[in-house]
């Protein structure tokens, strides 16, 4: 838009809280029933209980009680979300999931082609085949939901997903997430970026 600061441009994309909530409820409660796709309706009490029982993580949300109690800083498996039963995602994250998959495959190829390191160092730096397969499975699962959607459902899902991605983008621009020691959480740990969604309510509430 020609603004000198990205914050000014992103300010035009602030999403009202109700619209975000409705979008999250739509895409976050999609279930496959036979050959059809349905969206489970959540009452207010159920929605509040779900919010208290989950925390935002990269590419989705986590329901592990230890991690939820620690506001996302208490993951017992160091945020290996794709191998955890407490992790869930939805179709709004498909672009990010696909980019993550490409990044991991590119990293794997670079590590495999590098000869100047000890085997243990390469094993530590190399994304595992299991992790890549787990992401592929998650992508297929979300794509399968979209494939079963009617044209009307797909239109609503696409619109809701766009709302959520814009909201997440605003949060990433406007918030500096601090670790307990005061460091910027994004400076060296970009995988924690999705934790910013926790602050979304105070960032862009209207």
Give the rounded distance of the alpha carbon of 161 from its chain centre: 12
Taking only the tens place, the pLDDT of each residue in 14-52 is 567 788 888 888 888 888 888 888 877 766 666 666 678
Where are the chain's structural domains?
A: 6-204
> What's the pLDDT score for residue 94?
96
Mode of pairing for the β-strands spanning 55-57 and 30-33: unpaired
pLDDT tens profile 104-134: 999 999 999 999 999 999 999 999 999 999 9
The CA-atom distances, in angstroms, between 157 and each of 11, 36, 94, 144 are: 24, 14, 12, 13
Q: Give the predicted TM-score (pTM) of the model.
A: 0.71
Residue that wins the pLDDT comparison between 47 and 66: 66
SS3 21: helix
């Amino acid at each position: 838009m020609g603004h000198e600061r990205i914050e000014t441009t992103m300010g035009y994309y602030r999403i009202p809280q109700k619209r975000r909530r409705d979008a999250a409820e739509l895409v976050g409660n999609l279930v496959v029933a036979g050959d059809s796709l349905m969206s489970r309706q959540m009452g207010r009490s159920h929605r509040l209980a779900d919010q208290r029982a989950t925390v935002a993580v990269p590419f989705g949300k986590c329901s592990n009680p230890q991690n939820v109690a620690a506001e996302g800083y208490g993951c017992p498996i160091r945020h290996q979300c794709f191998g955890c039963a407490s992790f869930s995602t939805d179709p709004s994250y498909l672009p990010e999931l696909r980019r993550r998959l490409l990044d991991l495959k590119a990293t794997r190829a670079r590590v495999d082609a590098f000869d100047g390191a000890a085997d243990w160092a390469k094993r530590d730096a190399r994304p595992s085949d299991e992790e890549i397969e787990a992401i592929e499975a998650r992508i297929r699962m979300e794509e399968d939901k979209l494939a079963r959607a009617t044209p009307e459902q797909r239109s609503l899902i696409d619109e809701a997903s766009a709302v959520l991605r814009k909201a997440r983008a605003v949060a990433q621009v406007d918030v500096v997430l601090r670790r307990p020691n005061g460091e910027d959480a994004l400076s060296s740990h970009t995988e924690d970026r999705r934790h910013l969604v926790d602050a979304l309510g105070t960032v862009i509430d209207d």
